[in-house]
Structure formats: structure tokens, C-alpha cells
Chain A
Amino acid sequence: METTETKTNGIVMLGLKGKLDTTTAPQLQEKLLAALAGGEKQFAIDCAQLEYISSAGLRVLLLAAKQLRSGNGKIALYALKAHVKEVFDLAGFSAALPLFGSQSEALSSFTH
């Protein structure tokens, strides 16, 4: 998995590319926890190039979402491929981890 990271208007923009599985999930966990420890509270995750996710990937995103909630932060995911989105739906995560179609929709969710 490759990740890209930028920051726009206080929102950490994280792009995920490739596979988020048992072997790559720890990488993302480290990145997210470091950002959280650094005081970041808003995350927008670009999933347009995320080809694969297993429960190990879900676990990391759930961990981040839980920590953000307790600190009044927010995480939004966008542009998920259909089969990746299906995993979120099956896991019942869609309500807790908001999913958006596009970057602009995801970003506008932070202002509301």
C-alpha cells in the first residue's frame, strides 16, 4: 500500500493506494495514531485507488474513528470502489464511518 498525505484548511487529506490488508494495516495505523497524537482532529481519506480491504483494514479505521469521536474529531472516507464499499456496508460501519462519493462532498461534511 502507498499513502499520500497533505493538509488543507486543517483537514488531513490521506490518500490510500493498493491493498489495506493484514500486512499493510499496521503502516496506516502508525500514520493515523501519529497524526492523532500530534493533535489532528479532521481526516479525509481518499479511497479512489484503494483496491482491497480486509478486516485488518477495517479495524484500523474503526480505531481511529473511536479515538476521534472521544476527542470531538471527525473522519470521512470518499470515492470508495464498489467492492470496497460493500465490505464497509457488510461490517455495518457505514453509519459510524461516513462514506462520501466525492472529495467535495466529504470536505463539505466538515463544515456542518
Chain B
Amino acid sequence: MTALVMMSFKNQLGEIERLGRVVTEFAQHHHWSPQVLFEVNVSLEEILTNVISYGYEDNREHEITLRLAFADGELTAEIEDDGQPFNPLEMAEPELNKPLEERQVGGLGIYLVRKFMTELAYQRYEGKNRLTLKKKIAPEE
């Protein structure tokens, strides 16, 4: 496996399992620690789940593309979909200090992505959402 991987997923939640396998293979190739693999896995699962669950109003099959690149100790992951415009960076932070009974769980996924990634950027262009995640990854001790 090279330092660059491109693949596409259908808008079905069953694809999450395949995503996990791809990310794990990529991580092993680049000798990431289990902790880093976990953080990347969770982040990409959260993003892909959001796109699949909320991105489409029709019942048609859509293609979501993922591009993973690792160079100079930094992972860049790009997720592109043709769903309705959605910028996850605009989501409100979850109210972490509220009592359990009043807590809404919405936004928690994106919150985890923010914690686990170094940088997030969103672009809408040519009818597509493109989310770019970056993460600095130190070589495993």
C-alpha cells in the first residue's frame, strides 16, 4: 500500500465495516500506534455515518469518496459526497456540563472528530461537500 489511498463507499451503513478495514490496513502500513488508529477510525466513522444517515433525501445509491494521504508525519483525509449541503464545522458544541437528563447526544460525533484531529476544513463546490481532516501523527515509539 502506498502513502495514498483512494476509494469509494456507497451510502449504506454496512460500509462502515469496510471503512474500518481500510483504515486499519493503512495504519499498519504506516506503523501508527493503536491509539492513533483508534482516533482516526472513530473520526472517519463519525463523518461517513453522518453523510450516509443525513446527507441524502432520495433513496438512490450515491458514491462517497475517501482519500487518505500520509506524508511528513501528517495524515490528510478527504471525504467527498454529493449530498445536501452540510458543514459539520457549523454544528454547535454539545453541552457537556449539563446533567445527563438534559443532554442531547447530537453533535457528539463531530465533537469527537474535533478532539481527535488537528485540523478540519469544509468546502462546498460543484454540488459536493468536501471535508478535509488533518492529523499530526508522531512515529510509534
Residues of A within 8 A of B (CB): 19, 21-23, 52-56, 58-59, 62, 65-66, 69-70, 83, 87, 90-93, 95-97
Contacts and interface: CB of A to CB of B under 8 A. Distances in A.
Given A21-B45, A58-B108, A83-B38, A91 B101 contact: no
B6 interface: no
Interface stretch (B10-18, B56-64, B79-87, B128-136): B10-18
B117 interface: no
10 contacts: A21-B20, A52-B41, A54-B112, A56-B109, A65-B100, A83-B39, A90-B112, A90-B115, A91-B111, A92-B94
Contacts of B17: 23
Q: Which 6 A-B pairs have the closest CB atoms?
A: A96-B100, A92-B96, A55-B109, A55-B108, A22-B49, A59-B105
Given A91-B94, A96-B103, 7 more contacts: A23-B13, A23-B14, A23-B17, A52-B41, A52-B42, A54-B46, A91-B111
B61 to A, nearest CB: 18
B105 A55 contact: yes
Contacts of A58: 105, 108
Interface residue tally on B, bucketed by range? 20 to 34
A83 B34 contact: yes
B139 interface: no
B20 A19 contact: yes
Nearest to B15: A23
Contacts of A21: 16, 20, 45
A103 B62 CA distance: 45
B107 to A, nearest CB: 9
Contacts of A19: 20
A54 B111 CA distance: 11
Contacts of A23: 13-14, 16-17
Contacts of B105: 55, 58-59, 62
A74 to B, nearest CB: 12
Contact of A83 (B35, B99, B100, B109): B35
Contacts of A53: 42
